[in-house]
Structure 1
Amino acid sequence: MNQIKIVGSAINALSYFSSDLAAKLAIKIFSTPRNAKLNEEGIQYLSSAEQMDVTCDGFQVKTYQWKGNHKTVLLVHGWDSNSFRWKNFIELLKQDDYNIISIDAPAHGASGSKIFNAPLYAKCLDVVINQYKPEIVVGHSVGGTAIVIAQETHNLPSIEKLVLLGAPSNLGISVKNYTTMMGYNHRVAEAMNRYYLKYFGHLPEYYCVENFYSNINAKGLIIHDKKDQIISFREALDIKRVYKNSELVKTNGYGHRLRSEKVYQHILDFLNA
C-alpha cells in the first residue's frame, strides 16, 4: 500500500471515532502545500524585483514588481508553486515594457499562512489588486479560480483582460478528485462537506462556472492542454460555455504547467490586440 493509501486508510479509521476530526485532518492535508517554497535560484531571480508585503487576514503576502511604462499585468500562480514559475514569461513582458506584478499565494513562496484555499487566495488578491490596479490578470490553475472568485465577490473594476491557464471550472470536482485519490469513505466525504459549510459558508461545488463566470465583463483568454492530467480539458469547455466574452485556445502536449514559448506568444498576442 502506497503512502497516500496509508494516510487515507488512517483517516477513514479515525472517522468511526470522530468524523469531524477526520474531516479536519483531511482538509488540512488538502490545504497544505508540499513544494511551494522558493529555492536559491528563485530567491536570486526575484531579488531583481521591487518587493513589498501586503497584509491579508492577519498575515503577510509577498508581492514583486518589475516596473514598466505599459499597462500593469498581475501574475497569479497555482498550487504548490510561487512567483518564480513566471520567470520566462516575465522576461517577455519586460521586452514590451509592461508594469509587472507577481504574488506569492498564502503558504507559498515567501508569503505567510500555514494553509491555502481558493477563497483565502481570492481575499488576498482583492487586497493586491486594489493596491496595484492591474488592467490585466494572468492566472494559472487554482490561481485563475481565485481571480474569478475575487472578481465576482469584490467587483474589481480595473481588470480589462483576464487570462486563465489550466483553470478548474468547479472546486467541487477538485475536492472529489482529492477524496478519490486518498480513498476516503463516505463518512469523511460528508464530514468534509460539513466543514466547508461551517468555515466557508458554502459547499465546494458552490465555486462553479454558473456562480462566478456569467457576470465577468473583462475580455478573456482560456488556454488549456488536451493532455492536462491535473485539470481535465472538459473543465475549460465548461468555463467557455458560461464565460461569453472569452476565447478558448487548445494546446496539445504542454500538460498542466503550460510553460511554453507558444503559450506565452498566445498570451502576448491577446494582450497586445
Structure 2
Amino acid sequence: MNLALSAAGATVRGVGAVSPRWGAAFAMPLFGSVAKPRPVRPDDEATMWRARHRTVRIAGVDRRGVDVDAYEWGGGARTVLLSHGWNARASQFAPLVRELVAEGYRVVAFDAPAHGSSAGRRTYLVDWLDVFAALQQRYGAFDAMVGHSFGGLATLVGVAGGTDAARVVTIAAPADADLLLSQFQGMLRYSDAVSARMRERFASRYFPGQPDPFAWLSSVRRPLPAEVPLLVIHDEGDRMVPYAEAGRIVAANHGARLLPTIGLGHNRILAADDVLDAVLTHLEVPSAARTSSAPDGARRAAVMPAAAVDELISASVAE
C-alpha cells in the first residue's frame, strides 16, 4: 500500500469510528478516483498511431459532460468493441487489435474518462455503459465485445442490459460489483459499519432510482441473453481478480466456455498468443439468434458443430 492510500485509509477509519456515515462520505470520492494514466508501451505506439481517432461525449459520473477518446482500426463489415479495465487504457489491446484487423474486422476501442488520453478525474461503470451506447449509435450492433478486468464486468452488465452484441469475451473479469467494494474495503481497512454506509452511498450516487443496483451490476444475478455465446478467459494465478470469479460467471451463463491459463497473470494475458487465438476462434462462434442472417462466408464457424468449436478453442489454450 502506498503512503497516500495508507493515509486515506487511516482517515476513513478514524472518521468512521466517530460516524460510519461520515466515514463513508469521506471514502466515496476515493472509490471513483483514478490513478495517473499509464503511458503507452513502446511496442504499442505504432498501433495507436495507425488508429483513426475521434471523440465522443458522454454525461460522466458527475453528469456535467466529459469527452472520451475513441479509436478505430480496419474497415471490415464486422465490428468488435474492446473495453479496457480500471487504471488501464485502450493501447493495452494493441496485440489483439493487430490480430483482429488482420482477420478483416473493424476494431473500436476507447479510453474511459480519467483513463489514457481522455478527460476527467473520476469515473465509474456507468461511464463505460454510456460509451457503449454512444459507440453503438455510431456503429450499430457489435459483432463482438471483448472486455478486460473492470471492462469485462462492464461488458457483461452492458450486454445483459441491452447493448447489442452478438458474442462476448471477458478476460480476467470480476463477476459483480460486490467484489470491487470488498476489495476497496480491504485496501482501506475500514469497518463493516462504514462498508454498509458505502454500499448505500454507492447505490444512491451512481444508480439513483434502482431498487437493487447490486443485482443489476451482477453477471451472476443478471446473466447474458441465452443466445449470446460467452468465452471467459482467466489466469489461475491472477492476483488482482481471483480466478474463482471466472467460475461464478460461467456457472451463471448457460453455455459459457471457460478457458483457464497458467502463468499469465492479470495483464500479460492480453498479449499471449494462445489467448489471442482463442478469442479469434470464439468470434466465429455463431449466435443462435443471428446465424440465419449472416452473410455467406462471413462466419465459417456457423456450420461447425459445438463440439468442434470447443475442440478448436481448447487446443489454443496452453495447458
Q: What is the deviation of 1:226? A: 0.7
1:149 pairs with one of 152, 157, 178:
157
Q: 2:131 is paired with a residue of what secondary structure?
A: helix
Output the amino acid matched with 1:192: M
1:115 pairs with one of 114, 122, 135:
122
How far, CA to CA, are the matches of 2:11 and 2:163 in structure 1? Answer: 43
Q: What is the deviation of 1:2? A: 6.0
- Alignment of structure 1 residues 41-190 onto 2, 5 Å: 41=42, 45-57=47-59, 58-133=65-140, 134-153=142-161, 155-157=162-164, 159-190=165-196
How far, CA to CA, are the matches of 2:36 and 2:227 in structure 1? Answer: 35
Are the equivalent residues in 1 in contact too, given 2:112–2:127 (CA < 8 A)?
no
Q: TM-score, normalised by structure 1?
A: 0.90
Are the equivalent residues in 2 in contact too, given 1:193–1:204 (CA < 8 A)?
no
Q: What is the deviation of 1:263? A: 0.8
Q: What is the deviation of 1:36? A: 2.6
Question: Aligned-pair RMSD on alpha carbons?
Answer: 2.2
**Equivalences, count:** 271
1:20-72 Cα shifts (integer Å, max 9, x gaps)? 44323323222112143544846664232111111110111111001222511
Percent identity, aligned pairs only, is 24
Output the amino acid matched with 1:222: V
How far, CA to CA, are the matches of 2:47 and 2:121 in structure 1? Answer: 24
How far, CA to CA, are the matches of 1:80 and 1:156 in structure 2? Answer: 23
- Structure 1 equivalent of residue 34 of structure 2: 33
Flag structure 2 segments of 5+ consecutive residues without an equivalent.
Answer: 60-64, 285-300, 302-319
Are the equivalent residues in 2 in contact too, given 1:163–1:222 (CA < 8 A)?
yes
1:89-133 Cα shifts (integer Å, max 9, x gaps)? 111112112111111112111222221212332222122223222
1:217 pairs with one of 209, 214, 227:
227
Flag structure 1 segments of 5+ consecutive residues without an equivalent.
Answer: none
- Structure 2 equivalent of residue 226 of structure 1: 236
Q: Which moved more, 1:193-202 or 1:239-248?
A: 193-202
How far, CA to CA, are the matches of 1:227 and 1:40 in structure 2? Answer: 24
1:168-215 Cα shifts (integer Å, max 9, x gaps)? 012112211220121112332122122113212456643222333153
Q: TM-score, normalised by structure 2?
A: 0.78
Residue 263, structure 1, aligned to residue 265, structure 2: no
How far, CA to CA, are the matches of 1:95 and 1:268 in structure 2? Answer: 11
Are the equivalent residues in 2 in contact too, given 1:217–1:245 (CA < 8 A)?
no
Q: 1:194 is paired with a residue of what secondary structure?
A: helix
Which structure would you say has the larger Rg?
2
- Structure 1 equivalent of residue 304 of structure 2: none
Q: 1:187 to 1:126 in 2, by over 3 A?
A: same
